[in-house]
Copies of this chain bind each other. A is one copy, B any other.
Amino acid sequence: MGIAERKIRQKEEFRASILEAAWQQVISDGWQSLSIRKIADAIEYSIPVIYNHFENKEAILLEFTKEGFQKLADTLQLVKDQYTVPAEQLEAMAHAYWDFAFDHKEYYQLMFGLGIPACDRVNEIEELKYATSIMISTIKAAIEESNHPETDYFLKYHTYLSILHGLVSIQMIQKEGKPDASKKMILQDAISGFIISINRK
């Protein structure tokens, strides 16, 4: 009897429609605006039915997170396969990573827990400018002392900050508490590379 199969299929469809409705909400107003109630409203069912298919809201978000990592992995693999030299692969994958992040912004934010609070207002914070200027002036000085005094210091500042923030936030996502001292080797490694890239002939 195909009745059990049909039920499974229907359940799958229902589940998919929940995700579909959720995704529509996310891409139209960001994942902060996603609510169980809005999903229920969109699929024209009452709220508790959603809990028949997902344990809770987090489970829905987790679904998209997985989807996101899968898409990213597929993208990286695809790009990697177009090259043979590892260094070229790494470079191409880096660009692919970047493109993925901005082409699938919602996915990326979910995957890496980017809350984006006062996103647009953060640039107006005076204290931020202060911290920025300290770093920029140092970068500037380092460049002037280097073999390439014509280097774009603003670009280098962005690189510097990005490396730092990347290291920190990846670390924070992966582990609670203060990371063991060995993790600082990653920092040391990255920052050495950065400084060398400034002084390099």
Contact = CB atoms under 8 A, between A and B. Distances in A.
Interface of A: 58, 61-62, 65-70, 72-73, 76-77, 80, 85-87, 89-91, 93-95, 97-98, 101-103, 105, 108-110, 112-123, 125-128, 130-131, 134-135, 138-139, 141-142, 145, 155-156, 158-174, 176, 178-179, 184-187, 189-200
A141 B98 CA distance: 22
Given A65-B117, A69-B128, A113-B117, 16 more contacts: A65-B122, A69-B131, A77-B134, A80-B134, A86-B139, A86-B142, A86-B145, A87-B199, A90-B191, A109-B172, A110-B117, A113-B115, A114-B173, A159-B186, A161-B166, A192-B197
A137 to B, nearest CB: 9
Q: Shortest 4 CB-CB distances between A and B: which pairs?
A: A166-B166, A115-B115, A86-B142, A193-B197
Contacts of A179: 102
A67 to B, nearest CB: 8
Contact of A93 (B66, B102, B115, B138): B138
Contact of A162 (B108, B116, B127, B166): B166
Given A73-B131, A98-B184, A168-B98, A162 B138 contact: no
Contacts of A121: 62
B162 A186 contact: yes
A19 B189 CA distance: 39
Given A142-B90, A156-B189, A167 B162 contact: yes
